[in-house]
Amino acid sequence: MSSNFEKAKLVAHKADKSGVPAEVAFAFNPEAVRVTKTLKPKEQRQAGQDAPALQFNGGDSLKLEFGEVLFDTFDERISVYAKHVSQLEKLIVVAEALHRPPRVHFVWGQGFGSENGKINTGVWHVTALDVNYIMFLPNGVPVRAKCKLTLTEVPDDAPAKSVKSSPDTAHVHLVQRGDTLQAIAFKEYDNAGEWRRIAAANGVDDPLELVPGSRLLIPPILK
């Protein structure tokens, strides 16, 4: 075996390590990594033009997709779920203290490109995990699993910091499934206790009943 062999692994972001594994190493390196990035242009049709002009207002997040990552504990006669899969599951849950999944780095030797490319240096959320158990001991304990993983890039922190450090401009928040007023207040103001300000601005009587897809006005904090 080459002395340069290095295992691929997911390493927890230094600020998000509490309650999650510091790293999850792949038992076998992935055979393929799919990288996808898409733009969704808006077509602007103009009279007299054979084809519409394209307007670009942004694109989808960069994604890494691992089509098949194998984990095997047959020789050890222990559960592949307990040793490996359960650790992956901890990376795809919304942490109560963070109000989001933990961030990770994908590390595999020198990574993609010698100039510190996005894949090698980026920050990601694990956004999909598909596990197929394909071997069991006679007592039913799973000992081999094929996992499909999707990692989605985390945007740069700069825009979020600018909103939080100067929340003096009103804007609108689109309610997502699982949102709470406390979590929204923490995201917008760095202070979960400011949820009453949002409730009052939107006439919310019951802070526990937010409707996904609805819009909330986030009022400014004027100094």
Q: Where in the chain is the domain with CATH 2.40.30?
A: 9-153
Tell me the pLDDT tens digit for each residue of 65-106.
998 899 999 999 999 999 999 999 999 988 777 778 899 998
Higher pLDDT, 38 or 95: 38
- pTM equals 0.62
Cα 1 from Cα 23, distance rounded (Å): 24
Is residue 139's pLDDT more than 90? Answer: yes
Quick one: fold of 159-218? Membrane-bound Lytic Murein Transglycosylase D; Chain A (3.10.350)
- Cβ burial 56-77 (10 Å sphere, 16+ → b, else e): eeeeeebbbbbeebbbbbeeee
The residue written with tokens 């997709």 in the block is 65
- Of 76-80, 119-123, 132-136, the range with the lowest mean pLDDT is 119-123
The residue written with tokens 């799919």 in the block is 34
CATH number (1.10.12, 2.40.30, 1.10.3470, 2.30.29) of 9-153 reads 2.40.30
Cα 217 from Cα 174, distance rounded (Å): 9
Q: Which residue type occupies 16?
A: D
Cα 131 from Cα 149, distance rounded (Å): 9
